[in-house]
Amino acid sequence: MPTVLEKNNCKEKLKVHPIVKWAGGKRQIISVIKENLPTQFNRYFEPFIGGGAVFFEIQPENAYISDTNEELINLYLVVKNNPEELITDLHKHKNSKEYFLKIRNADRDDNYKEWSNIQKASRFIYLNRTCFNGLYRVNSKGQFNVPFGNYSNPKIVDEKNILNCSEILQSTEIRCANFTEILEHIKKGDFVYFDPPYLPLNKSSNFTSYTKEGFDIGMQFRLKAVCDELDKKGVKFLLSNSDTEVINGLYASYNIKKVFASRNINSNSNGRGKITEVLIRNY
Protein backbone atom coordinates (compact mmCIF):
# COMPACT_ATOMS: atom_id res chain seq x y z
CA MET A 1 0.00 0.00 0.00
CA PRO A 2 1.60 3.32 -1.05
CA THR A 3 2.36 5.82 1.69
CA VAL A 4 1.19 9.43 1.74
CA LEU A 5 4.57 10.74 0.61
CA GLU A 6 4.89 8.08 -2.09
CA LYS A 7 1.46 9.04 -3.45
CA ASN A 8 2.43 12.70 -3.47
CA ASN A 9 5.69 11.90 -5.24
CA CYS A 10 3.85 9.84 -7.89
CA LYS A 11 1.54 12.66 -8.93
CA GLU A 12 2.97 15.61 -10.77
CA LYS A 13 3.59 18.37 -8.25
CA LEU A 14 2.87 21.96 -9.12
CA LYS A 15 5.88 24.24 -9.28
CA VAL A 16 5.36 26.72 -6.45
CA HIS A 17 7.21 28.70 -3.83
CA PRO A 18 5.94 30.54 -0.73
CA ILE A 19 3.74 33.51 -1.57
CA VAL A 20 5.45 35.67 1.05
CA LYS A 21 8.90 35.79 2.57
CA TRP A 22 8.75 34.92 6.27
CA ALA A 23 11.20 35.08 9.17
CA GLY A 24 12.36 31.55 9.94
CA GLY A 25 11.21 30.23 6.56
CA LYS A 26 12.20 26.63 5.88
CA ARG A 27 13.04 26.67 2.15
CA GLN A 28 16.78 26.29 2.72
CA ILE A 29 16.45 23.19 4.95
CA ILE A 30 13.44 21.67 3.24
CA SER A 31 15.37 18.56 2.19
CA VAL A 32 16.29 17.79 5.82
CA ILE A 33 12.71 18.30 6.95
CA LYS A 34 11.42 15.97 4.22
CA GLU A 35 13.89 13.30 5.33
CA ASN A 36 12.38 13.48 8.83
CA LEU A 37 8.70 13.40 7.84
CA PRO A 38 6.68 10.28 8.63
CA THR A 39 6.09 8.11 5.55
CA GLN A 40 2.43 7.60 6.33
CA PHE A 41 -0.29 9.75 7.87
CA ASN A 42 -3.88 10.73 7.26
CA ARG A 43 -4.48 14.48 7.48
CA TYR A 44 -1.72 17.11 7.47
CA PHE A 45 -1.84 19.95 10.04
CA GLU A 46 0.34 23.06 10.19
CA PRO A 47 -0.83 25.53 12.85
CA PHE A 48 2.00 28.08 12.44
CA ILE A 49 1.74 28.28 8.67
CA GLY A 50 3.85 31.42 8.14
CA GLY A 51 5.21 31.35 4.59
CA GLY A 52 4.20 27.70 4.27
CA ALA A 53 7.43 26.39 2.70
CA VAL A 54 6.89 22.84 4.00
CA PHE A 55 3.19 22.82 3.13
CA PHE A 56 3.79 24.00 -0.44
CA GLU A 57 6.62 21.49 -0.87
CA ILE A 58 4.57 18.51 0.34
CA GLN A 59 1.32 19.67 -1.31
CA PRO A 60 -0.89 17.42 0.87
CA GLU A 61 -4.28 16.42 -0.53
CA ASN A 62 -6.07 16.88 2.80
CA ALA A 63 -4.73 19.61 5.06
CA TYR A 64 -5.54 22.05 7.85
CA ILE A 65 -3.44 25.22 8.13
CA SER A 66 -3.84 28.02 10.64
CA ASP A 67 -2.17 31.01 12.25
CA THR A 68 -3.16 33.79 14.65
CA ASN A 69 -2.03 36.44 12.15
CA GLU A 70 -5.34 37.65 10.67
CA GLU A 71 -3.69 39.40 7.71
CA LEU A 72 -1.75 36.27 6.79
CA ILE A 73 -4.80 34.00 6.99
CA ASN A 74 -6.82 36.48 4.95
CA LEU A 75 -4.09 36.28 2.30
CA TYR A 76 -4.35 32.48 2.07
CA LEU A 77 -8.15 32.62 1.89
CA VAL A 78 -8.00 35.19 -0.91
CA VAL A 79 -5.38 33.18 -2.82
CA LYS A 80 -7.63 30.13 -2.47
CA ASN A 81 -10.91 31.79 -3.41
CA ASN A 82 -10.08 34.92 -5.45
CA PRO A 83 -6.67 34.51 -7.14
CA GLU A 84 -7.58 36.36 -10.35
CA GLU A 85 -8.97 39.37 -8.48
CA LEU A 86 -5.87 39.43 -6.28
CA ILE A 87 -3.57 39.44 -9.31
CA THR A 88 -5.54 42.32 -10.84
CA ASP A 89 -5.25 44.37 -7.66
CA LEU A 90 -1.52 43.68 -7.31
CA HIS A 91 -0.86 45.35 -10.67
CA LYS A 92 -1.88 48.75 -9.26
CA HIS A 93 1.05 49.01 -6.83
CA LYS A 94 4.11 51.22 -7.32
CA ASN A 95 7.68 50.71 -6.12
CA SER A 96 8.36 54.09 -4.54
CA LYS A 97 9.00 55.16 -0.97
CA GLU A 98 6.17 57.70 -0.99
CA TYR A 99 3.65 55.12 -2.21
CA PHE A 100 5.03 52.46 0.14
CA LEU A 101 4.55 54.69 3.19
CA LYS A 102 1.01 55.51 2.09
CA ILE A 103 0.12 51.81 1.79
CA ARG A 104 2.03 50.83 4.94
CA ASN A 105 0.28 53.45 7.05
CA ALA A 106 -3.19 52.57 5.76
CA ASP A 107 -3.84 50.41 8.82
CA ARG A 108 -3.54 53.53 11.00
CA ASP A 109 -6.71 54.90 9.40
CA ASP A 110 -10.23 53.86 10.39
CA ASN A 111 -11.05 53.56 6.68
CA TYR A 112 -8.83 50.47 6.53
CA LYS A 113 -11.70 48.51 8.06
CA GLU A 114 -13.65 49.20 4.87
CA TRP A 115 -10.99 47.68 2.61
CA SER A 116 -12.02 44.43 0.93
CA ASN A 117 -10.26 41.18 1.78
CA ILE A 118 -8.73 41.24 -1.71
CA GLN A 119 -7.31 44.74 -1.17
CA LYS A 120 -5.87 43.72 2.21
CA ALA A 121 -4.26 40.61 0.73
CA SER A 122 -2.81 42.69 -2.10
CA ARG A 123 -1.38 45.16 0.42
CA PHE A 124 0.11 42.28 2.42
CA ILE A 125 2.01 40.90 -0.60
CA TYR A 126 3.08 44.37 -1.74
CA LEU A 127 4.53 45.30 1.66
CA ASN A 128 6.25 41.91 1.97
CA ARG A 129 7.96 42.33 -1.41
CA THR A 130 9.00 45.96 -0.96
CA CYS A 131 9.73 46.39 2.77
CA PHE A 132 13.21 46.06 4.27
CA ASN A 133 14.45 42.46 4.14
CA GLY A 134 10.94 41.05 3.64
CA LEU A 135 10.37 41.21 7.39
CA TYR A 136 6.84 41.07 8.79
CA ARG A 137 6.62 42.96 12.07
CA VAL A 138 3.88 44.88 13.85
CA ASN A 139 3.83 47.20 16.84
CA SER A 140 1.77 46.84 20.03
CA LYS A 141 -1.27 48.16 18.18
CA GLY A 142 -0.94 45.53 15.47
CA GLN A 143 0.24 48.07 12.87
CA PHE A 144 2.87 47.12 10.27
CA ASN A 145 6.03 49.13 10.97
CA VAL A 146 8.87 47.88 8.73
CA PRO A 147 10.68 50.55 6.65
CA PHE A 148 10.90 50.74 2.85
CA GLY A 149 13.39 48.30 1.32
CA ASN A 150 14.42 50.50 -1.62
CA TYR A 151 14.82 47.53 -4.00
CA SER A 152 15.27 48.32 -7.69
CA ASN A 153 12.89 45.74 -9.16
CA PRO A 154 10.94 43.66 -6.61
CA LYS A 155 8.58 41.03 -8.06
CA ILE A 156 5.29 42.30 -6.73
CA VAL A 157 3.11 40.29 -9.12
CA ASP A 158 3.84 36.57 -9.53
CA GLU A 159 0.76 35.41 -11.41
CA LYS A 160 1.71 31.79 -12.11
CA ASN A 161 2.75 31.14 -8.53
CA ILE A 162 -0.46 32.61 -7.11
CA LEU A 163 -2.60 30.48 -9.45
CA ASN A 164 -0.66 27.30 -8.62
CA CYS A 165 -0.81 28.02 -4.88
CA SER A 166 -4.55 28.57 -5.23
CA GLU A 167 -4.92 25.12 -6.77
CA ILE A 168 -3.01 23.50 -3.89
CA LEU A 169 -5.15 25.34 -1.32
CA GLN A 170 -8.44 24.07 -2.76
CA SER A 171 -8.39 20.95 -0.57
CA THR A 172 -7.12 22.83 2.48
CA GLU A 173 -9.05 24.07 5.52
CA ILE A 174 -7.76 27.53 6.45
CA ARG A 175 -8.43 29.05 9.87
CA CYS A 176 -7.36 32.05 11.92
CA ALA A 177 -6.80 30.18 15.16
CA ASN A 178 -4.46 29.53 18.04
CA PHE A 179 -2.30 26.41 17.71
CA THR A 180 -4.15 24.74 20.59
CA GLU A 181 -7.34 24.58 18.50
CA ILE A 182 -5.96 21.74 16.37
CA LEU A 183 -6.85 19.48 19.32
CA GLU A 184 -10.52 19.95 18.39
CA HIS A 185 -9.98 18.67 14.84
CA ILE A 186 -7.12 16.20 14.93
CA LYS A 187 -7.45 12.42 15.04
CA LYS A 188 -5.25 9.40 15.59
CA GLY A 189 -3.08 8.80 12.53
CA ASP A 190 -2.87 12.47 11.56
CA PHE A 191 0.40 14.42 11.39
CA VAL A 192 1.34 17.91 12.63
CA TYR A 193 4.29 20.04 11.61
CA PHE A 194 4.97 22.84 14.12
CA ASP A 195 7.10 25.82 13.12
CA PRO A 196 6.42 28.30 15.96
CA PRO A 197 8.21 31.57 16.60
CA TYR A 198 11.51 30.30 18.01
CA LEU A 199 12.67 30.76 21.55
CA PRO A 200 15.18 33.64 21.10
CA LEU A 201 18.90 32.90 21.30
CA ASN A 202 19.36 36.48 22.48
CA LYS A 203 17.47 39.78 22.52
CA SER A 204 18.53 40.82 19.01
CA SER A 205 17.13 37.62 17.49
CA ASN A 206 13.66 37.97 19.01
CA PHE A 207 11.25 38.03 16.06
CA THR A 208 7.96 37.06 17.70
CA SER A 209 6.09 40.20 16.65
CA TYR A 210 4.04 38.55 13.91
CA THR A 211 0.97 39.52 15.91
CA LYS A 212 0.57 42.18 18.56
CA GLU A 213 0.29 39.45 21.22
CA GLY A 214 3.72 37.95 20.47
CA PHE A 215 4.85 34.47 21.53
CA ASP A 216 6.52 34.31 24.94
CA ILE A 217 8.13 31.54 27.03
CA GLY A 218 4.76 30.64 28.51
CA MET A 219 3.49 29.86 25.01
CA GLN A 220 6.52 27.61 24.44
CA PHE A 221 5.52 25.57 27.50
CA ARG A 222 1.90 25.46 26.30
CA LEU A 223 3.12 24.15 22.96
CA LYS A 224 5.03 21.38 24.71
CA ALA A 225 1.83 20.44 26.57
CA VAL A 226 -0.03 20.24 23.25
CA CYS A 227 2.71 17.98 21.86
CA ASP A 228 2.29 15.68 24.87
CA GLU A 229 -1.47 15.53 24.27
CA LEU A 230 -0.93 14.70 20.60
CA ASP A 231 1.51 11.95 21.52
CA LYS A 232 -1.10 10.37 23.81
CA LYS A 233 -3.68 10.57 21.01
CA GLY A 234 -1.47 8.65 18.60
CA VAL A 235 -0.76 11.70 16.45
CA LYS A 236 2.72 12.12 14.95
CA PHE A 237 4.36 15.52 15.22
CA LEU A 238 7.53 17.20 13.96
CA LEU A 239 8.58 20.49 15.54
CA SER A 240 11.24 23.03 14.59
CA ASN A 241 12.77 25.34 17.19
CA SER A 242 15.99 27.02 18.28
CA ASP A 243 18.84 24.95 19.65
CA THR A 244 18.72 26.26 23.22
CA GLU A 245 19.15 24.65 26.63
CA VAL A 246 15.50 25.35 27.46
CA ILE A 247 14.12 23.72 24.30
CA ASN A 248 16.44 20.72 24.51
CA GLY A 249 15.49 20.17 28.15
CA LEU A 250 11.79 20.67 27.52
CA TYR A 251 11.65 18.00 24.79
CA ALA A 252 14.29 15.65 26.21
CA SER A 253 11.88 12.68 26.12
CA TYR A 254 11.47 12.99 22.33
CA ASN A 255 13.75 12.43 19.35
CA ILE A 256 15.89 15.56 18.83
CA LYS A 257 18.00 16.17 15.71
CA LYS A 258 20.26 19.20 15.28
CA VAL A 259 20.41 20.82 11.85
CA PHE A 260 22.30 23.77 10.40
CA ALA A 261 20.27 26.66 9.03
CA SER A 262 21.02 30.11 7.65
CA ARG A 263 19.17 33.00 9.16
CA ASN A 264 19.00 36.03 6.87
CA ILE A 265 16.13 37.95 8.48
CA ASN A 266 17.53 39.68 11.53
CA SER A 267 17.65 43.34 12.57
CA ASN A 268 21.24 42.77 13.71
CA SER A 269 23.64 41.64 10.97
CA ASN A 270 25.69 39.79 13.63
CA GLY A 271 22.69 37.53 14.17
CA ARG A 272 22.68 36.28 10.59
CA GLY A 273 24.55 33.30 9.18
CA LYS A 274 24.79 29.59 9.98
CA ILE A 275 23.32 28.49 13.29
CA THR A 276 21.98 25.21 14.64
CA GLU A 277 18.32 24.59 15.28
CA VAL A 278 16.47 21.43 16.26
CA LEU A 279 13.91 19.10 14.73
CA ILE A 280 11.90 17.31 17.41
CA ARG A 281 9.64 14.34 16.67
CA ASN A 282 7.72 11.63 18.54
CA TYR A 283 8.29 8.80 16.04
Q: How far is CA 143 from CA 4, 103, 238, in A?
A: 40, 12, 32
User: Which residues carry a binding-site annotation for S-adenosyl-L-methionine?
Assistant: 22, 26, 67, 195
**Whole-number Å distance between alpha carbons of 211 and 104:** 16
What is residue 49's predicted lDDT score, i.e. its pLDDT? 97
pLDDT greater than 60 at residue 247 = yes
Q: pLDDT by residue (tens digit) across 38-59?
A: 999 999 999 999 999 999 999 9
Q: pLDDT by residue (tens digit) across 79-121?
A: 999 999 999 999 999 999 999 999 999 999 999 999 999 999 9
pLDDT band at 276; cut points 50, 70, 90: very high
Q: Is 32 left (phi over 0), alpha (psi -120 to 50) or beta?
A: alpha
User: Which residues carry a binding-site annotation?
Assistant: 22, 26, 67, 195
- The residue ranges of every structural domain in the chain are 4-59+177-281, 72-159
Least confident among 4-18, 110-124, 143-157, 231-245: 4-18
What is residue 235's predicted lDDT score, i.e. its pLDDT? 98
The DSSP output letter for 140 is T
HSE of 184, CA atoms in CB hemisphere, 13 A: 7
Mean pLDDT of 185-194: 98
pLDDT band at 61; cut points 50, 70, 90: very high
Please state the pTM of the whole predicted model: 0.89
Q: Which CATH number fits domain 72-159: 1.10.1020.10, 1.10.3720.10, 1.10.10.60, 1.50.10.20?
A: 1.10.1020.10
CATH annotation of 4-59+177-281: 3.40.50.150
Residue pair 198/225 in contact by the 8 Å Cβ criterion = no
